[in-house]
Amino acid sequence: MSQSRLIGIIALLTWLMVGLPGLLYHLPEGFADWRWVATLFGFGAVFALDLRRPHLLLLGLAALAALALVLLRCNGYEGVLLALVAMQLGRRVGRVTGVTWILLQTALLAVADALQFSPRSAALLVPPYLGFQLVAYFVFHAMSREVALRSALAVSNAELRGVGQILADSGRMAERLRIAQELHDALGHHLTALSLNLEAALQLTHGTAHTSVATAQSLARRLLSDVRGIVAASRARDGIDLGEALQTLVGVVPRPRIHLDIPAGLRTSDPERAHTLLRCAQEMVTNAARHSQAENLWICVRSDGDTLRIEARDDGRGSESADGGFGIRGMRERLAQAGGELRVVSRPGHGFTVTALVPLRGGAT
């Protein structure tokens, strides 16, 4: 079960446990404080929207709605809703920011409780609420770190397997090239010499012998042509299978779910550029797993002339800034060294779209 779904279930149960007693208190005998009811449903709506399109502004609004419920005075347990906000903070912000946020909203809770009930009530209720929030924050913070580390380990393991695939393909390419070169140089040389000698013998023979020599010369030329064709076909089939290397990379990543779209048989004869492509794909997967909190990642690879285009799009939380962190900068630098470029597009709630252009310079087949 994903963290978002788990938090959604916990939030629904908590919202019901806080809301139902309040509704029972407000609704009977026509004494309904619709401000409290509207604020309760407003909290639920904002929190649900934040689950679908995460944004700290929505979390702030949810926290204010919970504090407003306390000010509207019902059963005094509305502060429990702040623990739900703390859960979401645990997935998104660092410890300093998270604890500071929790302390601030707890201080506001103390003020609201003291105004509507009494300072004694605030002194009794606020410390447990602070403890609930801190526990919720650190539990989900630890869970997020564990998920991120597990995903990073899976991606690193997959990347090693992908590099191993590239190295294996490179070794096979080198061996095929050596055999093809031997065929071309040694056998081709002897067949050329044989053809020339048969050409000379053809001038010195007559009758049946002449016919036999002409046939032998024709066979020698055909054999030489066949050797050259075999060498050419071997070189044409050479190259690293990009699809196989990428499948090796993405096949063992547990989250996000990766949808790979790459033409069958797409190859490159340059191991260094294949490694660049693999590194870019690895960073795209890592970003989606560790930072975007995405459930799905779509990777599309296409060859456009001498340029290879790899595009990754996820359904994560996105960001207001498309500059990214060290991973994006590292990708940009690696592609720049290879003569390529990187394009990043992101919006809060709409995930990331990362496009890498890798020049192959005739290396793709």
Share of the chain above pLDDT 90, in %: 8
For the record, the structure tokens of 11 come out as: 């939030």
Strand partners, 344: 354
Question: pLDDT under 70 in the chain at which residues?
Answer: 1-3, 22-33, 74-76, 151-152, 154-191, 227-241, 249, 251-254, 269, 271, 290-291, 320-326, 349, 360-365
Separation of alpha carbons 127 and 158, rounded Å: 46
Per-residue pLDDT, 178:
65
The residue behind tokens 């960073």 is 283
Per-residue pLDDT, 363:
45
Q: Is the pTM of this model over 0.85?
A: no
- Predicted confidence (pLDDT) per residue in 57-100, tens digit: 888 999 999 888 888 876 667 888 899 999 888 888 888 999 99
Report the half-sphere exposure of 195 (CA within 13 A, side-chain side): 14
Separation of alpha carbons 364 and 262, rounded Å: 13
